[in-house]
Amino acid sequence: MLAFDLGPTELIILIVLVLVLFGGAQLPKLAKNLGKAQKEFRDSLEEGKGKSTDTTATPAPAQPVQPTQPTSTDLGNG
């Protein structure tokens, strides 16, 4: 099973469209920039994980809300 459940025909069509849109000369540049962006994104995620575990305080547990008894005005007998 391929990504997004694409068959071989769909992948060939997709590759041809990419070649037509970007041209053969632009594909290496596109791939290089995509790789750089992916690496930068991963580095940012790792950096964010390190910061969040160091500075995050555990929140206090929530207190349950006690229901109140309805008054005569709530019941419409006013």
| Cα–Cα distance for residue pair 17/13, rounded to 1 Å | 6
Compute how many other C-beta atoms are within 10 angstroms of the C-beta atom of residue 61: 6
Confidence check: pLDDT of 65 > 50:
yes
Q: Where are the alpha helices (DSSP H) in the chain?
A: 8-22, 27-55
Confidence check: pLDDT of 56 > 60:
no
Q: If you ran DSSP here, which 8-state letter would residue 23 be given?
A: -
Residue 24, classed as helix, strand or coil, is coil
| Cα–Cα distance for residue pair 62/60, rounded to 1 Å | 6
Q: Tell me the domain boundaries of the chain.
A: 24-53
Q: Is the pTM of this model over 0.75?
A: no
Q: If you ran DSSP here, which 8-state letter would residue 56 be given?
A: P
pLDDT tens digits for range 5-53: 888 899 899 989 988 888 888 888 888 999 999 999 999 998 888 775 5
Report residue 70 as tokens.
């309805």
